[in-house]
């Protein structure tokens, strides 16, 4: 009998050769209905795989990333099978069809140019295949067998893939009904598990992403276990389209992007209001949490970047120039400059923790195809900070930093999930240093009781990190904050402090950002609020709407009073009906529209209409001003 250790630590005995599916049924019949795949000793496997040795087994459902991956990978095979069935006369050749985040795709080489009508037909055929509940079976074959099979099928792309595999590679094929594909897996047990499918679009894609190769047709889709989950996801996509920060940025006159500077955003006056309010808030919070602000140059000598390791590990993302015949680089990160600031003084243990914050403009060379509004740009302001601490302060400072993150994110109504990213392949330093640094971050998370997932191999090249993924108002997640533990840079820059023993010691450094990038964070907030910013961030906090010209003097007098108190207020003095002005204020997502007419002038009042509401309320002008000031001071999300 084999001993199988489950995720909760319990141990079960099972006969050798038992399939994972049969083992799940022994554990729980109800669980067996939900499980899509399993992780065996860290490797994701099909449920039809057999257990042949003692192992650790974790059951994966649609709630797990690898479970979703298996289901959506199967959906891509269903897509390929449907296309093969429907277009037998179009000389269809299969390329690749993986699962991707939130869905799947498959690339096809075929004579027929696919249309939206074709997608509807393909989706209908896919649903037939799901109803057929075809079992997926895996077969391992020799290279010669695989080549013979796909050559006979006329699948030249599969033949190319096989020829590129190592000589000793295990080659596997998956079959469902009449359809067979070259695939490493894993998959769910049958097509019937893919309950809800939606094909979304068709686009061009070069074979293997190389523009020298043939252009293929790529069909994108998504799949869920349940129709209601698919419906909720599609609704979220509709909402996301309405909230697109590029569209709203133009409508609300916040920022623009130009061919003269691709990837370099231009902020307009309205956008600068939001940007400056975020910076003011950042400074206020960081002052309370014991930070000092610094500023370091944008361009520094090559030698600095060689010392930091960026020249060897990050060069492809950097911009360069020459000054006095020497190589210089535009900074892609702020940290090396922070090191030089630290080195300008001798430090003792009494100076630590030393928390240096910087709103530093950095430049990174992003490929033009990857640029996306404010989310992916070539220059951005990183709200950086570098904390120089003793080894004994590591956990306390991480907890202090997370306290700051909690305060900032809750101000915007954003919750988060944490992710621990470990050593990447292209990294500096010894195994011992990395293990020590990773354990320190892990201990801090566990002592705080903060749930987290491990993201293997995604740390910075100089140290592991905790990433904070924010959840917005429609359920999407965004990676913003990060805390990186660095024991290597202080050594490279020979940073020291004098300890209680009078000897020199090496400090530990924490790199951290809260917003991540101010530009990107603004994009996230635009979409989170759908452009309807809370009062403290809104470019215009109130708009006065005089009904006729005779009410203008009252409106402008009130504007001056509010302006002098630091409020952002405008008067709509156009010769338009008041109903039109109200609608315009709603479209511009101004928090408060203040109608003033005869009654308001006579009584010193304003008629207040909140954004998104139809009801109005009459208030004394002084009362409204105090109300608005309180809303701004409290940073209340709601009007």
| Rounded (5°) CA angle 478-289-381 | 45
For the question of residue 77 being annotated catalytic, the response is no
Active-site pick, 382, 480, 551, 568: 382
List pLDDT tens digits, range 145-190: 999 999 999 999 999 999 998 888 889 999 999 999 999 989 999 9
Angle, nearest 10°, between helix axes 518-528 and 269-288?
110
Q: Is 386 a catalytic residue?
A: yes
Q: How far apart are CA 498 and CA 617, in angstroms?
A: 65
Average pLDDT over residues 328-354: 94
Structure tokens at 504: 């020199």
With a pLDDT cut of 70, the percent of the chain lying above it is: 100
The dihedral region occupied by 411, where left means phi > 0, alpha psi between -120 and 50, and beta the remainder, is: alpha
Q: Say which of 46, 243, 310, 335 is annotated catalytic.
A: 335
553 among known catalytic residues: no
DSSP code, position 135: B
Show the domains of the chain with their CATH numbers.
Answer: 2-61 (3.10.20.30), 67-227 (3.30.980.10), 255-298+333-528 (3.30.930.10), 542-634 (3.40.50.800)
Of the candidates 465, 520, 581, 609, the residue annotated as catalytic is 465
Contact 244/234 with Cβ under 8 angstroms?
no
Tokens of 477: 């997640």
Query: Is residue 428 scored above 80 in pLDDT?
Result: no
Query: pLDDT higher for 594 or 23?
Result: 594
C-alpha separations of 587 from 47, 346, 379, 578, 583 in Å: 53, 57, 31, 14, 6
535 labelled catalytic: no
pLDDT band at 579 (very low <50, low <70, confident <90, very high): very high
Q: Could you say which of 245, 511, 512, 581 is catalytic?
A: 511
pTM of the shown model? 0.80
* 477 pLDDT above the threshold of 70: yes
Cβ neighbour number for residue 433 with a 10 Å cutoff: 17
Query: Which position among 77, 310, 364, 568 bears the catalytic label?
Result: 364
Residues of 569-589 as b/e, b for ≥16 C-beta within 10 angstroms? Answer: bbbbeeeeebeebbebbbebb
Tell me what pLDDT residue 128 has.
97
Mean pLDDT of the 628-639 span: 87
DSSP assignments along 82-133, one per residue: HHHHH-GGGT-EE----EETTEEEEEEE-SS---HHHHHHHHHHHHHHHHHT
The band of 132, judged by pLDDT with boundaries at 50, 70 and 90, is: very high
Say if residue 429's pLDDT is above 80.
no
Total residue length of the chain: 639
- H/E run at residue 43: strand 43-45
Q: What is the mean pLDDT of residues 82-100?
A: 93
**Which SS3 state, helix, strand or coil, does residue 494 take?**
coil
Query: Catalytic pick from 77, 243, 331, 386?
Result: 386
- Where are any strands of DSSP class E within 371-448? 379-389, 415-421
Q: Is 349 helix (H, G, I), strand (E, B) or coil?
A: helix
How far apart are alpha carbons 465 and 487 in whole angstroms?
Answer: 12
Which residue shows structure tokens 């990395």? 434
Q: Per-residue pLDDT for 516 more than 70?
A: yes
What is the rounded average pLDDT of the residues 617-621?
A: 95
Give me the pLDDT at residue 436, please: 83
> Which of the residues 118, 383, 384, 486 is marked catalytic?
384
Examine the residue annotation and report whether 138 is marked as an active-site residue of this protein. no
pLDDT exceeds cutoff 70 at 324:
yes
**What are the backbone dihedrals phi and psi of residue 461, each rounded to the nearest 5 degrees, phi first?**
-70, -15
**Among 554, 546, 617, residue whose Cα is nearest residue 582:** 546
Model confidence pLDDT, tens digit, residues 51-70: 889 888 899 999 999 999 99
pLDDT given at position 488 = 84
Across all residues in the chain, what is the average pLDDT? 92
- Whether residue 558 is predicted with pLDDT greater than 90 in this model: the reply is yes
Examine the residue annotation and report whether 400 is marked as an active-site residue of this protein: no
* The pLDDT value given to residue 430: 79
* Residue 639 banded pLDDT, cuts 50, 70, 90: low
User: Is residue 581 left, alpha or beta, with left meaning phi > 0 and alpha meaning psi from -120 to 50?
Assistant: alpha
In this structure, of 268-272, 339-343, 430-434, 580-584, the range with the lowest mean pLDDT score is 430-434
pLDDT at 398 over 80: yes
Q: Is the pLDDT of residue 535 over 90?
A: yes
Assess whether 384 carries a catalytic annotation.
Answer: yes
Average pLDDT over residues 213-229: 95
Examine the pLDDT at 143 and tell me if it is beyond 80. yes
* pLDDT at residue 50 tops 80: yes
Q: Is the pLDDT of residue 462 over 80?
A: no
């Amino acid at each position: 009998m084999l001993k199988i250790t489950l995720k909760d630590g319990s141990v079960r005995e099972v006969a050798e050769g038992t399939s994972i599916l049969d083992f799940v049924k022994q554990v729980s019949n109800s669980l067996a209905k939900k499980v899509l795949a399993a992780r065996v000793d860290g490797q994701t496997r099909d449920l039809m795989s057999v257990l042949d040795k003692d192992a650790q087994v974790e059951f994966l459902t649609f709630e797990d990333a690898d479970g979703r991956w298996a289901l959506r990978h199967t959906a891509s095979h269903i897509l390929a099978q449907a296309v093969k069935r429907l277009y037998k006369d179009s000389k269809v050749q299969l390329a690749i069809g993986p699962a991707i985040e939130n869905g799947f795709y498959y690339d096809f080489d075929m004579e027929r140019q696919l249309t939206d009508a074709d997608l509807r037909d393909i989706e209908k055929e896919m649903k037939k295949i799901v109803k057929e509940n075809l079992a997926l079976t895996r077969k391992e074959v020799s290279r010669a067998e695989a080549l013979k099979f796909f050559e006979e099928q006329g699948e030249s792309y599969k033949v190319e893939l096989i020829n590129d595999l190592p000589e000793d590679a295990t080659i596997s094929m998956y079959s469902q009904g009449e359809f067979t594909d070259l695939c490493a897996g894993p998959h769910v047990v049958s097509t019937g598990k893919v309950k809800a499918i939606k094909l979304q679009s068709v686009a061009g894609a070069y074979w293997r992403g190389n523009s020298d190769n043939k252009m293929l047709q790529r069909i994108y889709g998504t799949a869920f276990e349940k129709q209601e989950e698919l419906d909720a996801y599609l609704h979220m996509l509709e909402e996301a389209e309405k909230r697109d920060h590029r569209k709203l940025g133009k409508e609300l006159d916040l920022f623009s992007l130009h061919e003269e500077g691709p990837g370099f955003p231009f902020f307009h006056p309205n956008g600068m209001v939001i940007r400056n309010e975020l910076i003011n808030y950042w400074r206020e919070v960081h002052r309370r949490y014991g930070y000092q602000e610094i500023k370091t140059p944008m361009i520094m000598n090559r030698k600095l970047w060689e010392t930091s390791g960026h020249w060897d590990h990050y060069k492809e993302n950097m911009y360069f120039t020459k000054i006095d015949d020497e190589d210089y680089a535009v900074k892609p990160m702020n940290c090396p400059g922070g090191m030089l600031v630290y080195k300008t003084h001798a430090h003792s243990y009494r100076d630590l923790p030393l928390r240096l914050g910087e709103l530093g403009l950095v430049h990174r060379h992003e490929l033009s195809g990857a640029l996306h509004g404010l989310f992916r740009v070539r220059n951005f302001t990183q709200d950086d900070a570098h904390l120089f601490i003793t080894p004994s302060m590591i956990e306390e400072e991480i907890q202090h930093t997370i306290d700051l993150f909690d305060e900032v994110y809750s101000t915007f109504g954003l919750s988060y999930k944490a992710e621990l990213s470990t050593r990447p392949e292209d990294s500096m330093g010894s195994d011992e240093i990395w293990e020590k640094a990773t354990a320190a971050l892990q201990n801090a998370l566990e002592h705080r009781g903060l749930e987290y997932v491990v993201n293997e191999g995604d740390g910075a090249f100089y140290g592991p990190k905790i990433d904070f993924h924010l959840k917005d108002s429609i359920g999407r997640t965004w990676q913003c904050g990060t805390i990186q533990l660095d024991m290597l840079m202080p050594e490279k820059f020979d940073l020291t402090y004098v300890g209680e023993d009078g000897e020199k010691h090496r400090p530990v450094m924490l790199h951290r950002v809260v917003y991540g990038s101010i530009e990107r964070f603004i994009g996230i907030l635009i979409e989170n609020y759908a452009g309807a910013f809370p009062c403290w961030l809104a470019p215009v906090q109130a708009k006065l709407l005089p009904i006729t010209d005779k009410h203008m003097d009252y409106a402008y007098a009130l504007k001056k009073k509010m302006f002098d108190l630091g409020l952002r207020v405008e008067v709509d003095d156009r010769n338009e009906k008041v109903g039109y002005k109200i609608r315009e204020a709603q479209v511009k997502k101004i928090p408060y529209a203040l109608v003033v007419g005869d009654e308001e002038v006579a009584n010193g009042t304003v008629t207040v209409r909140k954004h998104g509401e139809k009801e109005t309320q009459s208030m004394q002008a002084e009362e409204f001003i105090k109300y608005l000031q309180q809303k701004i001071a409290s940073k209340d999300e709601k009007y």
